[in-house]
Amino acid sequence: MNKKYSKWSAILSTICAITIFTSYAIAPQEPEGSMVVLLKILFFTSIIAGVLSLILSYLAFNNKEEGFLKKIAPIIILLILLVFVLSFIGIVLSLGDFF
């Protein structure tokens, strides 16, 4: 069977992870000018790639494609969410020092 859905699902989830972390890595404290446009492009590309990768992963499961590639997209998306949750918890705990 052709693994077209699972392959593209894995590729798009990798693009999602790279673009979201790149947008946060290069963002200055107060972005101005073309940096704002670049950050918006990276952020929305990440969201679109993540949603498409989850849809393609769902289609791969429905078509009963073989292999592990169909499971990569949900794992990467969950890891991205875990990083943001841990970051949020760290921010909240560090704000507790001010009170």
41 has a pLDDT exceeding 90: yes
Name the DSSP class of 33: T
| Alpha helices in the chain, H assignment, sequence order | 4-26, 34-62, 69-95
What is the per-residue pLDDT for 88?
Answer: 84
What is the per-residue pLDDT for 77?
Answer: 86
Domain containing residue 34: 4-98
pLDDT tens column, 69-91: 878 888 888 888 888 888 888 88
Mean pLDDT of the chain: 86
> What percent of the chain clears pLDDT 90, i.e. is strictly above it?
31
At 10 the three-state DSSP class reads: helix
Total domain count, the chain: 1
